[in-house]
A and B are shown apart, each in its own frame.
Chain A
Amino acid sequence: MKWLTALLILLFAGAGVGWLLTSPERVSPDQLAGITPDLKLGEQVFYAGGCASCHAAPGAEGDDKLILAGGHSFPSQFGTFIAPNISSDKNAGIGGWSDEDLANAMLHGTSPEGQHYYPAFPYTSYAQMNVEDIVSLNAFLKTLPAVATPAPAHEVGFPFNIRRALGGWKLLFARSGWVVTGDLTPEQERGRYLVEGPGHCGECHTPRNGLGGLDLGKWLTGGPNPSGKGKIPALTPDQLDWSQGDIAEYLKSGFTPEYDSAGGEMVDVIANTSKLSDADRAAIAAYLKLPQLAAGDASD
Chain B
Amino acid sequence: MFSVRKTALAAALIGATAGAAFADGHANPAVKARQQVMSLYAFHLGTLGAMAQGKMDYDAEMATKAASNLAALTSLDQSMMWPAGTDSGSMEGTRAKAEIWSNFPDVGAKGKALADASMAMKEAAGGGLESLQAAMGPLGGACGACHKAYREPES
Chain B 33-64 interface 0/1 with A at a Cβ cutoff of 8 Å (1 = within): 00000000111011001001101000000000
A231 touches B155 (CB 8 A): yes
Chain A 227-267 interface 0/1 with B at a Cβ cutoff of 8 Å (1 = within): 10111110000000000010001001111001111111101
CB contact under 8 A between A249 and B153, given known A267-B144, A274-B137: no
6 contacts between A and B (CB under 8 A): A225-B153, A231-B153, A255-B45, A263-B151, A264-B147, A267-B148
Interface residues of B (CB under 8 A from A): 41-43, 45-46, 49, 52-53, 55, 136-137, 139-141, 143-145, 147-148, 151-155
CB contact under 8 A between A263 and B53, given known A230-B154, A231-B153: no
Interface residues of A (CB under 8 A from B): 61, 225, 227, 229-233, 245, 249, 252-255, 258-265, 267-268, 270-271, 274
Main SS at interface, chain B: helix
Other-chain contact of B141, A254, A264, A265 (Cβ < 8 Å): A254
Other-chain contact of B144, A229, A249, A261 (Cβ < 8 Å): A261
B42 touches A263 (CB 8 A): no
Other-chain contact of A261, B43, B53, B147 (Cβ < 8 Å): B147
B140 touches A231 (CB 8 A): no
B42 touches A260 (CB 8 A): yes
> Known pairs A230-B154, A253-B140, A259-B41. 4 more at Cβ < 8 A?
A229-B152, A231-B153, A254-B143, A258-B42
Other-chain contact of A255, B49, B153, B154 (Cβ < 8 Å): B49
B151 touches A259 (CB 8 A): no
CA distance A267 to B141 in the complex (A): 8
Nearest B residue to A260, CB-CB: B42
